[in-house]
Structure 1
Amino acid sequence: MPLLLGAAAAQSAAPLPSLPPAATFPLRIDIMSQRSYPGSDLVIEQTLSSGVNYKRYIASYRSDGLKIYGLLTVPNAAVPKGGFPGLVFMHGYIPPNVYRTTERYIAYVDAFARAGFVVFKPDLRGHGSSQGEAQGAYWRPDYTIDTLNAFASLRRFKTVNADRIGMWGHSMGGYLTLRAMVLDKRIKAGSIWGGVVAPYNDILNNWHRRDGGGPPPNSPSRRTRTQILETYGTPQTNPSFWNAISANSYLARLNGPVELQHAIGDATVPVAFSRSLATGLRAAGKTYTLFEYPGDDHNISRNLSTALRRSVEFFRRSL
């Protein structure tokens, strides 16, 4: 039976469960660091039409007991000694009910696949055919868990060099990329485009989307955010809590370079977010580059070929 590549889990308006004490909140970096993220073998579920010089598949892996699907590309070339370099490709926010595994980011995945990387773009829980409920990235650990298990699963793939894997993330996927990098030092490099990568004070108070997008008001993500603020307070009244759940507080843990690309006119995520992360990386003594694009949009579509070339070159140097 063909895979259903678009039907996402229904969003529930049921009452939210009560939250734990702040010291054990599951989104805390120290709490997440205590978990294991073993992933699983990648299972080829469906063979798709091939790219120019690479094969395309729908593959699955396990995360938190859930079966998660994703798009996998594998070069046609002979496997080099040690295996191909790999990339975990983290997509941005797409309404789960319209998400399709094989739609969007086509040119982006193609650029890395053509360049000889094994690319795995996980769907995340509740997206496409993936099991579980889509409840958002910023207020629950679920998507970060799926991201880290995707990385662990790609490390186990037979033609990939487990020590040469990086991560690319756009928008929400940039948030997940940064979190994954501070939680797992084996991620060798990260490229983040238009990323939600500022501290939580900025996410809460300085993120005013001008494109009208984002989760609807009664979504699980919006409701959970309200519940967290009511339970633990704001970044102004309880800064220790918000610092504990922010990857920006743990930049010293990074074990590889970070490339930031952002359009100055981004109407979805302000360029100030990438500038803020760049300041934090510089203060932490970490290697980074920041490319800005005047007059462009959230997808850097007007400078796409330049931005993709820069990211391909970044990963070739870093991996």
Structure 2
Amino acid sequence: MGKILFLLIFIFILFSVYFYSQNKSINLPISSIGTKIVDDILPSPTPKPFYELTIPYLRGRSYEGILGELILAYNRGNYEAYTTSYISDGLRVNGLLTKPSGVMPEGGWPGVVFIHGYIPPTQYLTLERYTDHVDFLARNGLAVFKIDLRGHGNSEGEASGAYYSSDYIIDVLSAVNALGKSGFVNPEKIGLWGHSMAGNVLMRSMAVKPDIKAAVIVSGAVYTYIDLGEYGISDSSYQPPGNSSERARRRQRIRDVYGDPSADSPFWREIAPSNYLTDLKGAIQIHHATNDNVVSINYSRNLNGLLDKTNVPHEIFEYQSGGHNLIGSSFTQAMQRSVEFFKKYL
């Protein structure tokens, strides 16, 4: 059938070239006529479905974050905190931005884009989530930009979830650009900090922008996508989208087209950040409690094992207590180690 179609097209082109050459009213070089006809007849290549989720696609697009007005929220003496917003894909995404006091270093302060974990979007509040984490980092001379991912709180857009969408990666990388244009942050010294589902978002963001210098992951999940099937996630606060929602239908369409995550699938390989570890130029620090009953510590152990096979500077810290949110003494240890890590690599 394919040979017959090709033969018919070839005959049609020859006939058309003859027709065009005989018609003096058509002012086209003979050499371009065949190409024009083929372009008119044959369909242009169609992008593969859901290609926008892949690392190669995300590497090829731009992230033009623009920081909005800074409104003073509070002053802690050694730093000030502002509510603000920035533009990500045309959406206004809100956040809390801290600015250290004192004499600014040459080139600007080191900065951290802080990515929250799963919180029911309607329950998210800018000034009431991760405040202790932000305070710990800010008191140690870091400009912290805790972003409210799209669809959370008053940020515009829909909360699309972390694992089957690229929206949050776009929000993170737009925030990195916005923070670098703030006027008081060194654009060459910006790291990432992420909790829970943000482990996936953070690692995919680093895969897209391998020059990010430092990243801290706390109780993170889903790096190979195969690991999601192996370890699962057990979050009682999770409010899944209804089966009739666009988000749920989209997830099902992805699986209908590509099946379950597999190392043999080119599509899933281009989504999993674990396949781009050798590209990374920065360093990674991992924290996880052995008694985390939401996200298995095996996610972090598996990621650490994969990093062991690369030249990426990395370290993992395991805690015997603290649970998924690393509370109590584990919190203080993890945050102090985060500060020391950022000071070393930023």
TM-score, normalising length: structure 1: 0.89
1:243 is aligned to 2:269? yes
Specify which of 96, 115, 128 is matched with residue 153 of structure 2. 128
1:194 to 219, 232, 236: 219
1:87 aligns to 2:108 (yes or no): no
Instruction: Give the fraction of aligned pairs with identical amino acids, expressed as a percent.
Output: 42
Q: CA deviation at 1:295?
A: 3.0
- Tell me the amino acid that sits aligned with residue 65 of structure 1: G
Retained in 2: the 8 A contact 1:61–1:68? yes
* Residue matched to 2:238: 214
Q: Which has the higher helix share?
A: 2
Task: Show the 5 A alignment for 1:124-273.
Answer: 124-209=149-234, 211-218=235-242, 221-236=247-262, 239-273=265-299
Which is bigger in relative contact order (C-alpha 8 A, separation at least 6)? Answer: 1
Residue 18 of structure 2 corresponds to: none
| Separation in 2, partners of 1:56, 1:166 | 18
Alignment CA distance shift 1:239-1:70 (3 Å): same
1:301 and 2:324 matched: no
Aligned-partner Cα distance in 2 for 1:255–1:283: 15
The whole-number CA distance in structure 2 between the counterparts of 1:316 and 1:304 is: 18
Q: Is the contact made by 2:211 and 2:280 (CA closer than 8 Å) also made in structure 1? A: no
Matched length: 298
For the residue of structure 1 that corresponds to 2:240, the secondary structure is coil
In 1, Cα distance between the equivalents of 2:86 and 2:257? 35
Q: For residues 85 and 205 of structure 1, what CA distance do their matches in structure 2 show?
A: 37
Does the alignment pair 1:315 with 2:342?
yes
Contact 2:112-2:191 at 8 Å conserved across structures: yes
Q: Which residue of 38, 51, 62 corresponds with 1:36?
A: 62
Tell me if the contact between 1:120 and 1:154 (Cα under 8 Å) persists in the aligned partners: yes
C-alpha contact (below 8 Å) 1:22/1:232 kept by paired residues: no
Deviation at 1:252, TM superposition (A): 1.1
Alignment partners' CA distance in 1, 2:266 and 2:101: 50
Alpha carbons of structure 1 residues 36 and 103: separation in structure 2 relative to 1, 3 Å: same
Q: Which residue of 1 aligns with 2:19?
A: none
Deviation at 1:296, TM superposition (A): 2.7
Whole-angstrom CA distance in 2 between matches of 1:79 and 1:220: 47
Matching residue of 1:108: 133
CA drift of 1:21 comes to 5.8
Q: Deviations over 1:28-80 (max 9, x none)?
A: 1111111111212x222422121241111111111101111100000111211
**Rg bigger for which structure?**
2
Which residue of structure 2 lines up, in the alignment, with residue 51 of structure 1?
76
Q: Is the 8 A contact 1:197 1:248 kept in 2?
A: no
CA distance in 1, matches of 2:341, 2:228: 27
Q: 1:283 to 1:129 in 2, by over 3 A?
A: same
Residue 205 of structure 1 and its aligned partner are, at CA, apart by 4.1
SS of the residue corresponding to residue 136 of structure 2 reads helix
Aligned to 1:258, what secondary structure does the other structure show? strand
CA contact (8 A) 1:58 1:71 kept: yes
Considering only aligned residues, what root-mean-square deviation do their CA atoms show, in Å? 1.8
Does the aligned pair in 2 maintain the 1:168–1:191 contact within 8 Å? yes
How far apart are residue 22 of structure 1 and its match?
Answer: 4.2
Q: Is the 8 A contact 1:194 1:274 kept in 2?
A: yes
Q: TM-score of the superposition, structure 2-length normalised?
A: 0.82
Would the aligned equivalents of 1:125 and 1:131 in 2 still touch at CA under 8 Å?
A: yes
Cα displacement string for residues 217-237 of structure 1 (whole angstroms, at most 9, x for unaligned residues):
516544432331122111249
